[in-house]
C-alpha cells in the first residue's frame, strides 16, 4: 500500500516536472519570431479598439442599451478580451498537423507521456503569454479611451468567477483537442478548426457582443451549446447579471464530462486508424 502511494507520488512529481519543462519550451517557441509576435499583439489591439469605439459611439446619448449601462458594457468588453486570452488561448491547433505528418509517432507515442497532459501544459504557455500582454493592452485602451471599469466588491463573487473560468479553461482544452483529433480521419483539418474553433466558438461565446442582445429564440438555441458558458456567462456573473452561478457551474461540469468521454473515445479510435510512414 505504502509502495503504491509512493509510486503514485513519484508519478505526479514526474508529471509536474515534465509539465514545467514543456511549459517553458512552449514559452520559448512563442518568441522565436519576435516581430511576428509583436504583430500578433497589434492584431488584438486593433480588434479591441474597433469594438470599443463601436460601443462608445452607440452610448453617446448616455442612456442604457439592452439593459447594459455604458460602464457595464465596456466592462463586458474588457473582461471578455482578457478571458479570451485565458480561456480560448490554445496550442492544440498544432496537434492536427502533428497527426497528419506522422510526427505523433516519434514525438509522443514512443514516450511515456500522457498526451492530454502534454498539450494541456503547452496550452498554459499560450494562455500565460496572452494574459501577460493582454493586461497592459486592455488597461492601456481603457486609459486612452478614458472609461472606468465596473468591478464587484464581494470576495465570493471573485471566487466563483475563478471557478467558472477554470472550468471554462478545461472545457475549451477538451473541445479544441477533440477538433484536432479530426486529423486522424481528415486531410483538411483547418476546416473543422475554422468552423468550430474560431467562428462558432468566438461568436457563440460572446467575444463580439453580449449574447443577450440577440432575439430570445436565438439565445435559447445558443444556450444549448457549450460556448456561452466559456466567456459570456462568467462575465455576466461578474457584472451581477447571473442569479444562479451554480447552475452555470453544473452545466459546465456536464459539458466537461461529455467532452472527456468523447475525447477518450476518439483518441482510442484514432490510434487504431493511425499510420505513419518513416523515411
Query: What residues between 65 and 124 interact with another protein by CB under 8 A?
Result: 65-66
Least distance to another protein, CB of residue 189, Å: 8
| Residue (51 or 116) nearer to another protein, CB | 51
Least distance to another protein, CB of residue 74, Å: 14
Q: What is the dihedral angle through the alpha carbons of 136, 142, 146, 147, rounded to the nearest 10 degrees? A: -140
d(CA 47, CA 156): 32
Exactly one of 12, 25, 54, 109 binds another protein (CB under 8 A); that residue is 54
Q: Is 43 near another protein (CB under 8 A)?
A: yes
Least distance to another protein, CB of residue 45, Å: 9
Query: What residues between 152 and 211 interact with another protein by CB under 8 A?
Result: 186-188, 190-192, 194-195, 198-200, 203, 208-209
Query: Under rule CB under 8 A, how many of the chain's residues touch another protein?
Result: 37
Q: Binding string to another protein for residues 202 to 241, with x set by CB under 8 A, is what?
A: -x----xx---xx---x-----------------------
Least distance to another protein, CB of residue 54, Å: 5
Burial of 8 (0-12, 13-18, 19+ CB in 10 A): exposed
Least distance to another protein, CB of residue 44, Å: 9
d(CA 66, CA 213): 6
| Residue (179 or 239) nearer to another protein, CB | 179
Of 39-47, 92-100, 232-240, 258-266, the segment contacting another protein by CB under 8 A is 39-47
| Residue (65 or 116) nearer to another protein, CB | 65
d(CA 125, CA 91): 8
Least distance to another protein, CB of residue 204, Å: 9
Q: CB-based contacts of 140: which residues, under 8 Å, 6+ apart?
A: none
| Residue (43 or 153) nearer to another protein, CB | 43
Of 32-40, 229-237, 259-267, 271-279, the segment contacting another protein by CB under 8 A is 32-40
How is residue 140 written as a grid cell?
492601456
Exactly one of 1, 35, 110, 217 binds another protein (CB under 8 A); that residue is 35
Least distance to another protein, CB of residue 199, Å: 4
Where do contacts with another protein occur on this chain (CB under 8 A)?
33-36, 39-40, 42-43, 46-47, 49-50, 53-54, 56-58, 61, 65-66, 186-188, 190-192, 194-195, 198-200, 203, 208-209, 213-214, 218
Amino acid at each position: 500500500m505504502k509502495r503504491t502511494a509512493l509510486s503514485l507520488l513519484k508519478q505526479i512529481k514526474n508529471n509536474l516536472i515534465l509539465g514545467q519543462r514543456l511549459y517553458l519550451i512552449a514559452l520559448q517557441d512563442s518568441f522565436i519570431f519576435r516581430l511576428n509576435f509583436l504583430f500578433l499583439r497589434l492584431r488584438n489591439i486593433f480588434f479591441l479598439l474597433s469594438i470599443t469605439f463601436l460601443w462608445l459611439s452607440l452610448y453617446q446619448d448616455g442612456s442604457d442599451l439592452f439593459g447594459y449601462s455604458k460602464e457595464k458594457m465596456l466592462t463586458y468588453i474588457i473582461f471578455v478580451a482578457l478571458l479570451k486570452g485565458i480561456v480560448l488561448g490554445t496550442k492544440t491547433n498544432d496537434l492536427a498537423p502533428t497527426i497528419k505528418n506522422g510526427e505523433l509517432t516519434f514525438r509522443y507515442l514512443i514516450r511515456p507521456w500522457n498526451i492530454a497532459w502534454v498539450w494541456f501544459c503547452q496550452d498554459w504557455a499560450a494562455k500565460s503569454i496572452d494574459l501577460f500582454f493582454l493586461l497592459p493592452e486592455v488597461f492601456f485602451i481603457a486609459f486612452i479611451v478614458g472609461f472606468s471599469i465596473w468591478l464587484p466588491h464581494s470576495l465570493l463573487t471573485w471566487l466563483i468567477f475563478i471557478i467558472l473560468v477554470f472550468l471554462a479553461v478545461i472545457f475549451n482544452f477538451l473541445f479544441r483537442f477533440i477538433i484536432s483529433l479530426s486529423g486522424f480521419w481528415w486531410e483538411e483539418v483547418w476546416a473543422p478548426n475554422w468552423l468550430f474553433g474560431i467562428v462558432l466558438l468566438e461568436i457563440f461565446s460572446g467575444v463580439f457582443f453580449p449574447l443577450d442582445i440577440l432575439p430570445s429564440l436565438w439565445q435559447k438555441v445558443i444556450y444549448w451549446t457549450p460556448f456561452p458558458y466559456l466567456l459570456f456567462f462568467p462575465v455576466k456573473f461578474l457584472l451581477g447579471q447571473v442569479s444562479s452561478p451554480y447552475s452555470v457551474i453544473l452545466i459546465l461540469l456536464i459539458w466537461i464530462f461529455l467532452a472527456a468521454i468523447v475525447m477518450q473515445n476518439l483518441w482510442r479510435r484514432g490510434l487504431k486508424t493511425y499510420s505513419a510512414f518513416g523515411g
